[in-house]
Amino acid sequence: MGHPALRQLTQSIEPSEIDTPALQHLIDDMFDTMHEYAGVGLAAPQVHQEFRLFVAGVDASDSNMRPIVMVNPQIELIGQAMEEDWEGCLSVPDIRGKVSRSVEIRVRSLDRHGKPQQMTATGFPARVIQHEIDHLNGILFLDRMKSFESLTFLDEYDRYWDKGEQSGD
């Protein structure tokens, strides 16, 4: 938090640039970084790359969210339903806070080989995707908090608020 890259509007990636060694290497590095810091999502601006690209997913045993790569994502909120829940961010270490997000979304994007893909997501995966797409627009989850009353250090979150659920990236 504080690095200017986190506050920039990112650039779309040319489809012809996606299946190149440089981009493929970046995507692999982003998965490595995400796993190393036990995150469930990582957007390119978090590694100071101003591209419209993010990776997300938890371990393969969790069918909630398989690993995904989204390039140039376009999000559409489905319905009016919102839900408030805890989020964290690798760029805002050791902090948690409650953020209201759309329960259901549809996303169109390109995959890691530049092929069009579409998915709908509800609940936790929908929250993760909204959080990551915010990163591509220079928005941090703190900006989305309606109040800072729930702003919590990770130690206190673990002690008082963790219900054994995942808590964003």
DSSP-derived secondary structure letter, 51: B
Query: Min. distance of Cβ 131 from Ni ion in angstroms?
Result: 6
Q: Considering only residues 65 through 94, tell me which ones interact with Ni ion, judged by CB under 5 A.
A: 89
The amino acid at 49: Q
Stretch that binds Ni ion, among 1-9, 28-36, 147-155, 161-169 (CB under 5 A): 161-169
In the complex with Ni ion, the residue whose CB is nearer, 49 or 114, is: 49
Coil, strand, or helix at residue 81?
A: strand
User: Total residues at the site for Ni ion (CB under 5 A)?
Assistant: 2
d(CA 42, CA 38): 10
**Sign of the Cα pseudo-torsion (107, 27, 38, 46, in order):** negative
Name the strand (E) or helix (H) holding 126: helix 124-136
* Of 50, 76, 132, 156, catalytic: 132
Q: Is 132 a catalytic residue?
A: yes
Which parts of this chain interact with Ni ion (CB under 5 A)?
89, 169
List, by residue number, the catalytic residues: 132
